[in-house]
């Protein structure tokens, strides 16, 4: 298990980014959360097996590529604290 903390910037608010992130996480059996930040970015914390995490990142960046200008990715140790994947407010 692995945890990835991602911050996307660009035109990522109001384009369905969070809903896409949730849908893809569920399809890849991942847990965690996604939220819009006050400074106009989208933040994701996601946990799962490395293969599924790679598929998730590839899919979200492919689907949302026209909206993403920059990304920051931090790899961390999984904590197992999540039971699902949801939108945080």
pLDDT at 18: 98
Q: Does the active-site annotation cover 86? A: no
In the block, which residue shows the tokens 């990304």? 71
Q: 50 exposed, middle or buried (CB, 10 Å; 0-12, 13-18, 19+)?
A: exposed
C-alpha–C-alpha distance, residues 26 and 33, integer Å: 11
| 47: nearest Cα among 18, 21, 76 | 76
Top-level CATH class of 2-82?
A: alpha beta
Share of the chain above pLDDT 70, in %: 100
- Catalytic residue, chosen from 18, 28, 29, 86, is 18
| Alpha helices by DSSP H, 1-89 | 17-27, 50-63
pLDDT, tens digit, 9 for 90 and up, residues 47-87: 999 999 999 999 999 999 999 999 999 999 999 999 999 99
Q: Which of 28, 29, 36, 69 is catalytic?
A: 36
29 is catalytic: no
- CA 32 – CA 35 distance, rounded (Å): 11
Q: How high is the pLDDT of residue 30?
A: 98
């Amino acid at each position: 298990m692995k945890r990835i903390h991602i911050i996307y910037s660009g035109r990522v608010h109001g384009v369905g980014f969070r809903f896409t992130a949730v849908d893809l996480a569920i399809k890849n059996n991942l847990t965690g959360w996604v939220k819009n930040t006050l400074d106009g970015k989208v933040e994701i914390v996601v946990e799962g097996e490395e293969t599924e995490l790679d598929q998730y990142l590839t899919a979200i960046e492919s689907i949302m590529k026209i909206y993403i200008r920059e990304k920051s990715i931090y790899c961390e140790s999984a904590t197992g604290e999540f039971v699902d994947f949801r939108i945080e407010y």
